[in-house]
Copies of this chain bind each other. A is one copy, B any other.
Amino acid sequence: MPTPSLLPLTDALARWREALEAVGAFRRLPAESVPVAQAHGRVTAVAVWARISSPHYHAVAMDGYVVRSAMTANATPARPVRLRLGEDAWYVNTGDALPQGFDAVIPQEEARAAGGWLEVSEPIPAWSHVRLIGEDMAAAQLVAPAYQRLRPQDLGAIAGSGHRRVQVFRQPRIAILPLGERLIPPDPHVGPGQIIEFNSIVLAAMAREWGAAAHPFPPQDGDLETLFAQVEAALDDHDLVVLNAGASGGARDHAERIIRRLGEVTVRGVALRPGHAVILGHARSKPIVAIPGFPVSAMTALEQIVRPLLEGWLGQSGARAPELQALLPQAMPSDPAVDDFKRVVVAHTYRGAVARELPQAAGAIMTMVRADGVIHIPRGQTHIPAASLVQVALLRPPETIAHTLIHIGSHDLALDILADQLRRAHPDRFLNSLGVDSLEGLHALARGEAHFAGVHLLDPTTGVYNIPAVQRVLPHLPVVVMRFVRRAQGLILPRGNPKRIHTLADLARPDVTFINRQPGSGARQLLDYHLQRQGIAPDAIRGYDRIEHAHLAVAAAVKNGIADAGLGVLTAARALDLDFIPLFLEDYDLVMPVAHYESELLAPILRIIATRDFRQTVAALGGYEVDGMGEIIHPLP
Contacts and interface: CB of A to CB of B under 8 A. Distances in A.
Contacts of A141: 413, 416
B94 A247 contact: yes
Chain A interface extent, by class = 35 or more
Contacts of A3: 109
A369 B248 contact: no
A268 B139 CA distance: 37
A344 interface: no
A371 to B, nearest CB: 8
A54 interface: yes
Contact of A156 (B52, B148, B151, B198): B198
B202 A153 contact: yes
A497 interface: no
A71 interface: no
A201 B552 contact: no
A319 B397 CA distance: 9
A365 B423 contact: no
Nearest to A56: B190
Number of copies: 2
B51 A188 contact: yes
B52 A188 contact: yes
Contact of A54 (B138, B196, B574): B196
B317 A427 contact: yes
A564 B65 CA distance: 28
A178 to B, nearest CB: 12
A156 B247 contact: no
Nearest to A139: B575
A427 to B, nearest CB: 4
Between A205, A430, A431, the greatest number of chain B beta carbons within 10 A of the residue's beta carbon is seen for: A205
A47 interface: yes
Contacts of A317: 403, 426-428
A201 B159 contact: yes
A160 B196 contact: yes
Contacts of A311: 427
B162 A187 contact: yes
Nearest to A247: B95
Nearest to A153: B368
B202 A156 contact: yes
A397 B322 contact: yes
Given A142-B420, A152-B209, A160-B198, A248 B365 contact: no
Interface in A196-255: 196, 198-199, 201-206, 208-209, 216, 247-250
Contacts of A155: 198, 201-202, 205
Given A94-B248, A185-B164, A190-B52, A135 B363 contact: yes
A405 interface: no
A552 B53 contact: yes
B550 A316 contact: no
A469 B391 CA distance: 45
A88 interface: no
Contact of A154 (B369, B397, B574): B369
Contact of A186 (B36, B199, B320, B322): B36
Interface string A508-547: 0000000000000000000000000000000000000001
A274 interface: no
Interface in A243-300: 247-250, 293, 295, 299
B136 A398 contact: no
A556 interface: yes
A176 B382 CA distance: 57
A157 B369 contact: yes
Contact of A365 (B36, B160, B185): B160
Interface string A45-59: 001010111111111
Contact of A162 (B109, B164, B190, B361): B190
A488 to B, nearest CB: 16
Contacts of A248: 63, 93-96
Interface in A53-73: 53-59, 61, 63
Given A139-B552, A164-B188, A319-B399, 7 more contacts: A93-B250, A95-B247, A132-B550, A132-B553, A140-B575, A148-B423, A164-B186
9 contacts: A36-B186, A93-B250, A95-B182, A132-B553, A147-B423, A160-B198, A162-B196, A315-B427, A322-B322
